[in-house]
Chain A
Amino acid sequence: MLSYFARRLAGTIPVLVAVSIFVFGFVHALPGDPARLVAGPEATPADIAAIRVEMGLDGPLWSQYLIWANNAVHFRLGRSIATRQAVEEVIGERFMPTLWLTLVSMGWSMVAGVAIGVISGVKRGRWQDQAGMVMAISGVSFPGFWLGLLLISLFSVHLGWLPTGGDVGWRSYIMPSFALGLGVAAVMARFTRSAFIEVSSADYVRTARMKGVPERSVVWRHTLRNALIPVITLTGLQFGFLLGGSIVIETVFTWPGLGRLLVDSVAYRDYPVIQAEIMLFSAEFVFINLFVDLLYAVVNPEIRLT
């Protein structure tokens, strides 16, 4: 078990290194002098010279990368062009609102998705199943940001029940987390249903039913518990979807998080912030997938044998 964990952990390192090379290359792929880009439009020649030394731009490209990577590992991410603040501070301020929004969205959408999937699986072919699956395929196709706009129009502008945006207490989570989580809930529902149906035809479920185990116990103990194993793997991917989706949803709800920061930074060409954010989003995604894989190994011993 431990050796499996160690191998999986080691496997993420080359991926992270490759991602960091991509993110590093990003500023160098832009036309113009990287020091000038990082310094921003209002920098003095002295600033630019200082940054040139700091980034090691007089050295070869590989040594520039090593300097940059070393700084990044120690959370020295440079200064924001827009605010002159240290990038790690800018990101630190925005981290928690996005984390909470993502967690709330993940939480409700997993519970709702699995519940709808199980109901559809149990009532296969009946109206509950059909209603569930119509909701699911519509949910997958619904543009989250459009849903956000419709919700704002209805609940904030017309009814005045909820705040239009910003992070001002628990009520401001309702609409963004619903708009963000809908797609995930829909995917979860579809996937849970098919996993549930597949497990229902397994021999051990048939045997349980045959020996007279009550139906409730067949569903909860024998089918659902096994059907949830593949669902676990899906959560990692869906988290990536939420991270990406949060960028657009935060723009709709003027949420003070990382997503809106990224959009603003791209508009402002604030390259140090863009670099750091892309690295952060990818690292988060890689580690969440690692965590999900390990969790999968814990609940499903089969995987460790291979």
Chain B
Amino acid sequence: MSAALADAAIRSPLAEFWRRFRRKWLALGAGLVLLALIAAAIAAPLVAPFDPATPDYNAVLQAPTLLHLCGTDAYGRDVFSRIVWGGRVSLSIGFLSVALGGTIGVLIGLIAGFVGGRIDGMLMRMMDVLLAFPGIVPAIAVVAVLGPGIDNVIYAIAIFSVPVFARLVRGITLAIKQAVYVQAARSIGVRPMMLMLRHILPGTLPSVIVYASLRLSTSLLTAASLSFIGLGARPPSAEWGAMLADGRAYLGVADHITLFPGVAIFVTVLAFNLLGDGLRDALDQKL
């Protein structure tokens, strides 16, 4: 018992995390899949065998072959290449919107929890209002004002990710604020700004990382949905949701146009969910 305690005590938090996380083979596998997807998106010009935008009218609506792994669409464009290039769009929307919304949300949560009182009440009521819009509706409203397009989709999803992170971080901040080490730091005269950023913020990060991973899956789905209903990335842009919208007209004629981009969305979202679950177990059992 005491040996185990001593053993745990010398491990750094990172080593301790890794010790727990590497046993979650499902989450580990999901992480590897995501790394592969990200690498493929970055190296799209090298990975994709064809140009994603060049039509080939001699090879229209072809079923999958060794040459065209996922077949071709109504313009003869290679579906596999479009999925690889589309990964750039879909993954960037996901990462940028969560990074933007997460950063703002974490700051709001920190301030609300740390300062407390009226400012806390005011900030949290604002978050309640943002949460009063269900699902994809607020994103549609923002896009209706700003106009369709990838940038606006990122803003729309980011704004409505803010309250999720703000609530989470506020709760943890309230708890950490009372911790002995924070009280000690305060008592030796550490400034409030320093207390928030150096002493409290790091304590919220494990939960923030878990939420970010789960939120990425939601953002990807929302972005794909928006593109599908014609409010996100517009055709001919190779975005996964927009590709599904293109394939809709050829259901039953060329199902592969609909099948493979959907698989790409499903696999990516599933991987973020599995990774998030594994991270939660490894980082923080309380959530």
Q: Which residues of A contact B (CB under 8 A)?
A: 14-16, 18-19, 22-23, 26, 29-30, 137-138, 140-143, 145-146, 149-150, 152-153, 156-158, 239-245, 247-248, 251-252, 262-263, 266-267, 269, 271, 274, 278, 281-282, 284-286
Assess the B258–A267 pair: CB atoms within 8 A: no
Check: B144 CB closer than 8 A to any chain A CB. yes
Check: B140 CB closer than 8 A to any chain A CB. yes
Provide the B267-281 mask, 1 if CB < 8 A to any CB of A, else 0: 001100110010000
Assess the B133–A146 pair: CB atoms within 8 A: no
Smallest distance from the beta carbon of A210 to chain B beta carbons, Å? 28
CB-CB under 8 A from B152, the residues of chain A are: none
A244 to B265, CA, bound (A): 19
Smallest distance from the beta carbon of A206 to chain B beta carbons, Å? 22
Q: Tell me which of A137, A248, A269, A282 contacts B270 (CB under 8 A).
A: A137
A109 to B257, CA, bound (A): 29
Q: Tell me which of A150, A156, A248 contacts B229 (CB under 8 A).
A: A248
Name B's interface SS: helix
Name A's interface SS: helix
Check: B283 CB closer than 8 A to any chain A CB. no
Assess the A146–B262 pair: CB atoms within 8 A: yes
Assess the B265–A146 pair: CB atoms within 8 A: yes
User: Chain B: which residue is nearest A262 at the CB level?
Assistant: B140
Q: Tell me which of A141, A153, A266 contacts B273 (CB under 8 A).
A: A141
Assess the A145–B133 pair: CB atoms within 8 A: no
Binding-face segment, B41-49, B174-182, B192-200, B243-251: B243-251
Q: Which residues of B contact A (CB under 8 A)?
A: 125-126, 128-129, 132-137, 140-141, 143-145, 217, 221, 224-225, 228-231, 244, 247-248, 251-252, 255, 258-259, 262, 265-266, 269-270, 273-274, 277
User: Chain B: which residue is nearest A145 at the CB level?
Assistant: B228
User: Chain B: which residue is nearest A237 at the CB level?
Assistant: B134
Could you list 13 further interchain pairs (A-B, Cβ under 8 angstroms) beyond the known A269-B144, A285-B134? A15-B129, A26-B141, A142-B266, A143-B262, A145-B244, A149-B247, A240-B135, A242-B135, A244-B137, A266-B231, A282-B137, A284-B134, A285-B132
Assess the B133–A248 pair: CB atoms within 8 A: no
Task: Please judge, given known A-B contacts A247-B136, A281-B134, whether A141 and B217 are in contact too, CB under 8 Å.
Answer: yes
CB-CB under 8 A from A14, the residues of chain B are: 125
Q: Tell me which of A153, A156, A240 contacts B258 (CB under 8 A).
A: A153
Assess the B251–A153 pair: CB atoms within 8 A: yes
Assess the B141–A274 pair: CB atoms within 8 A: yes
| The 8 A-B residue pairs with the shortest CB-CB distance in the complex, in nearest-first order | A244-B135, A157-B252, A240-B134, A146-B262, A141-B270, A285-B134, A244-B136, A18-B129
Assess the B141–A150 pair: CB atoms within 8 A: no
CB-CB under 8 A from A262, the residues of chain B are: 137, 140
A285 to B136, CA, bound (A): 12
Smallest distance from the beta carbon of A236 to chain B beta carbons, Å? 10
CB-CB under 8 A from B144, the residues of chain A are: 26, 266, 269, 271, 274
CB-CB under 8 A from A23, the residues of chain B are: 141
CB-CB under 8 A from A29, the residues of chain B are: 145
